[in-house]
Amino acid sequence: MSSPQLEYTSFILAALTAGGGIMGYAKTRSVPSIVAGCSVGLLYALGGYRIQNRQPYGIELSLLASVVLGGSSIPRAIRLKKPVPILLSVLSTFGAITFGKAYTSSA
């Protein structure tokens, strides 16, 4: 995957995770939702920014965000079988595959 595609992917995942955290807070007043969503979104956004400016560790930051998101959402998706954890699991898996491939090809 080329650099512009990686940065767009990272920015889109940043918007989705941060937006999801904000929506979770607005719907249920869940402080952990907004903190987790915005934190993971910030990692994705910082990774996208670093990829865009050809700075080191951009891919690694986006990969880290995917691993953190997957680590929290995949067990909940398996246990609860609800739409939001399943969607977050799909997003984290997509990010882990995308940024994992980019990381291994750049190493």
Handedness of CA 36, 40, 43, 48 (dihedral sign): negative
Predicted local distance difference test score (pLDDT) of residue 34: 96
Which positions ≥6 away from 67 have C-beta within 8 Å?
A: 92, 96
pLDDT tens-digit readout, 42-87: 999 999 999 999 999 999 999 999 999 999 999 999 999 999 999 9
**Residue 101 CA to chain centroid, in angstroms?**
15
* pTM for the model: 0.94
Nearest to 48 by CA among 18, 20, 85: 18
Band (2; pLDDT cuts 50, 70, 90): confident
